[in-house]
Structure 1
Amino acid sequence: MDTTKHDDAGTSGSGGSHTGGSRTGLFRTPISGGVHSATAVHDLPPPALAVRNLMEQARFAHLCTVMSRMHHRREGYPFGSLVDFAPDPFGHPIFSLSPLAIHTRNLLADPRCTLVVQVPGWSGLSNARVTIFGDVFPLPAEQQEWAHQQYVSKHQQWASQQWGNFYYYRMHTISDIYFIGGFGTVAWIDVNEYEALQPDKIAMDGGEHNLKELNSMFSKPLKELLSTDEGEVDDVAVISMDSKGIDIRVRHGAQFNIQRIAFEVDHSVETLDEATEALRRIIGKSRWHTRAQL
C-alpha cells in the first residue's frame, strides 16, 4: 500500500481558513500526513474498506475505454463516458450497456478500461474518488438474469425498465485500484484485500434513503454545529456514511469543502437508528459546551 503524502487531497475547493476541530467529533482541517495518520486522526475506515463502501454508495461513474479502430481518426485515444453500475459481492462492477454505445464497441475490441467512481454529492477535489483499472467482458447468457438482480437491488425500478434493451457486462479482472479519499488519504489499494472485504452494513443498507433521512433530521443542527465565529455556513449536506462517521459537504457562498464527524461510539454503527442517536449525542454535547461558555 502506497502511503505517499499528498498535500492537496482534501484541501482543494475549501473556502477561506478553518481552525482545528475544537468540538467533539468534528474535524475541520484536512491533514496531509499520509494514509495511516489520516485514517487514525479522522477515524476513517481503512482505505480498502473505504473503497468498498464508496462502490456500494455510488450509482454512476465515468468509464474510460480505448477508442476502437472503427473510429479511425481517434483510434487508441481514451474515451470517457458516464455509466451506471452495480458492484457484485466481490466489489467487481457490473454494467448494463447498450450495443449501440461507443464504449460498448470499444470494450468488445479491447476490454482494458478504467472506472472513475466519485462519492455521491461530489462538488470538488476535496471529495473521495477511486480509479479502478480492469478488463470488462460480456457476461454469458446464463448469468444475465443474475446480473439483472444485482442491478434491481441497487437501482430499483429504474434498472428493471431497461431490461431487454441492454446487455450485462462485468469487470472480470481488477488489476489496480487508486484511491483519493480526501482528508490526506491517497493510496494504491491491494486488489486481494479489496476483494476479500465486506462493505460496512450501513453503506450497503439504505443508501440514498439513509442520507436523505439524516439530512431531513439534521440539516439545521449541523449547520449550527459547523458555523464558526467567522460566520455561518450557507448550506450543509451529508453525502457519505460509514460505520465510523459521516462526511458532510459544506458551502460558504460559492466555495465548498468536506468535513468529517466521527460517531464517537465504541462499536461499528450499522443502522440508521444508531447513526441518528450518535449524531444527537454529538450535537447535544456541542450545545451544552456552547451554553457553558456563555
Structure 2
Amino acid sequence: MKIPAHAPLHLLHSAAIGTLATHARQPEGFPYPSVLPFAPDPQHRPTILVSRLAEHTHNLHADPRAGFLVVDAPDGDVLNGQRVTLLGTFEPVDSTPAVVQRYLRYHPDAERYLALGDFTFWTMRVERLRYIGGFGAMGWLAGTELDPVPPLEIDEETALIEEFRGRVTDASEFELLGIDRYGADLKRKGLRTRFAFDAAGLNIETLRAALQACIQHYAN
C-alpha cells in the first residue's frame, strides 16, 4: 500500500517516547517491552539512554535484536493515529560531545542521569520498518529506504541552530532542537512539534531558506 512521502521519518521526529521490545533472558525468548524516551540521530534512527542495570540493557547485551514502536495519537484514537514499528539491532554509542549535546537538546532532564556515570547511549540499526498512517496508508520499508540521502553533518546542524537562535526574538518560547534535510524539530511554549519542509534541503542555502519559512510560519 502507498505510504505518504517521508511520513515514517517525520513520525520518528514528532514523538518523544517509544516502546522498546527486547528478548527476555528469563523467561527466555519472551518479548520484554519497555517505554522510554529517545531522540532521533542524524540518520533518524532512535537513540536511547539506558542504565547498565536496567533489564532491557541486559537483554540487549545478550541479544541486540529488538523492535521499537513509535505512536502519535494526539486525540487518543490509536487505531487512526500514526505508528511505526522498527526492527533491527541496537548498538552502544560512545558518549561524544556531539551525541550528548544533541540528546540533551531533546531531553534536557537527562543531564542528571549522565552525571551518575551509569547510563550509556544505544542507537538502533534499522533493518525493516512497518508504517501505519490510517486506512490505505501502510506498508513495509527496508531500513535503507527510510532516508537514502546523506545526513546533515553535525557541524552544519550546529551552525544552523546558532543562526536560528540569532533570528528568534524570544528563545524561551521557540527553541530549535534539531534539523535535518526534511524538517526541523522544535519546542514551542514547552511543547514538542515538527515543521516539515516543502522539499528536501540538499544544501545549506536551501536549509536556511526553509528555516526562515519555519520562523515566519510560527511568528504569524
Same fold by TM (over 0.5)? Answer: yes
- State whether structure 2 residue 57 is matched by structure 1 residue 77: no
Please, which of 8, 12, 15 is the counterpart of residue 58 of structure 1?
A: 15
Structure 2: distance between partners of 1:79 and 1:166:
20
Offset, 1:100: 1.4
Structure 2: distance between partners of 1:182 and 1:61:
19
Q: Mapping of 1:111-150 within 5 angstroms?
A: 111-119=64-72, 121=74, 123=76, 124-140=78-94, 143-150=95-102
Residue aligning to 1:89? 42
Offset, 1:65: 0.3
Q: Taking structure 2 as the reference length, what is the TM-score of the superposition?
A: 0.69
Structure 2: distance between partners of 1:211 and 1:128:
22
Partner SS state of residue 182, structure 1: coil
Instruction: Compare the two structures and name the one with the higher strand fraction.
Output: 2
Offset, 1:56: 1.3
Offset, 1:144: 4.1
Whether the 8 Å contact between 2:13 and 2:194 is mirrored in structure 1 is no
Residue aligning to 1:285? none
Q: Taking structure 1 as the reference length, what is the TM-score of the superposition?
A: 0.53
Partner SS state of residue 153, structure 1: helix
Structure 1: distance between partners of 2:181 and 2:136:
21
Offset, 1:81: 0.5
- State whether structure 2 residue 109 is matched by structure 1 residue 158: yes
Offset, 1:154: 1.4
Counterpart of 1:55, as a letter, is: L
Change in CA separation of 1:272 and 1:85 when aligned onto 2, cut-off 3 Å: same
Change in CA separation of 1:129 and 1:122 when aligned onto 2, cut-off 3 Å: farther
Deviations along 1:191-246, whole A, 9 cap, x unmatched? 22313355532xx231x427959xxxxxxxxxxxxxxxxxxxxxxxxx865346xx
- State whether structure 2 residue 182 is matched by structure 1 residue 200: yes
Deviations along 1:235-289, whole A, 9 cap, x unmatched? xxxx865346xxxxxxxxxxxxxxxxxxxxxxx7941532675xxxxxxxxxxxx
Structure 2: distance between partners of 1:240 and 1:89:
15
Structure 1: distance between partners of 2:42 and 2:131:
20
Segments of 5+ residues of structure 2 without an aligned counterpart are 150-179, 199-209
Change in CA separation of 1:199 and 1:61 when aligned onto 2, cut-off 3 Å: farther
Please, which of 95, 100, 104 is the counterpart of residue 53 of structure 2?
A: 100
Offset, 1:158: 0.9
Partner SS state of residue 147, structure 1: helix
Segments of 5+ residues of structure 1 without an aligned counterpart are 4-34, 40-45, 214-238, 245-267, 278-294
Please, which of 179, 182, 194 is the counterpart of residue 134 of structure 2?
A: 182
Higher relative contact order (CA 8 A, sep 6+): 1
Please, which of 213, 216, 219 is the counterpart of residue 273 of structure 1?
A: 216
Counterpart of 1:114, as a letter, is: G
Counterpart of 1:147, as a letter, is: V
Structure 2: distance between partners of 1:136 and 1:120:
26
Q: Mapping of 1:275-290 within 5 angstroms?
A: none
Counterpart of 1:66, as a letter, is: H
Partner SS state of residue 133, structure 2: strand
Change in CA separation of 1:185 and 1:211 when aligned onto 2, cut-off 3 Å: farther
Partner SS state of residue 79, structure 2: coil
Counterpart of 1:62, as a letter, is: T
Partner SS state of residue 147, structure 2: helix
Structure 2: distance between partners of 1:126 and 1:136:
29
Change in CA separation of 1:241 and 1:187 when aligned onto 2, cut-off 3 Å: farther
Change in CA separation of 1:61 and 1:212 when aligned onto 2, cut-off 3 Å: closer
Partner SS state of residue 54, structure 1: helix
Whether the 8 Å contact between 2:84 and 2:131 is mirrored in structure 1 is yes
Structure 1: distance between partners of 2:75 and 2:131:
15
Change in CA separation of 1:154 and 1:187 when aligned onto 2, cut-off 3 Å: same
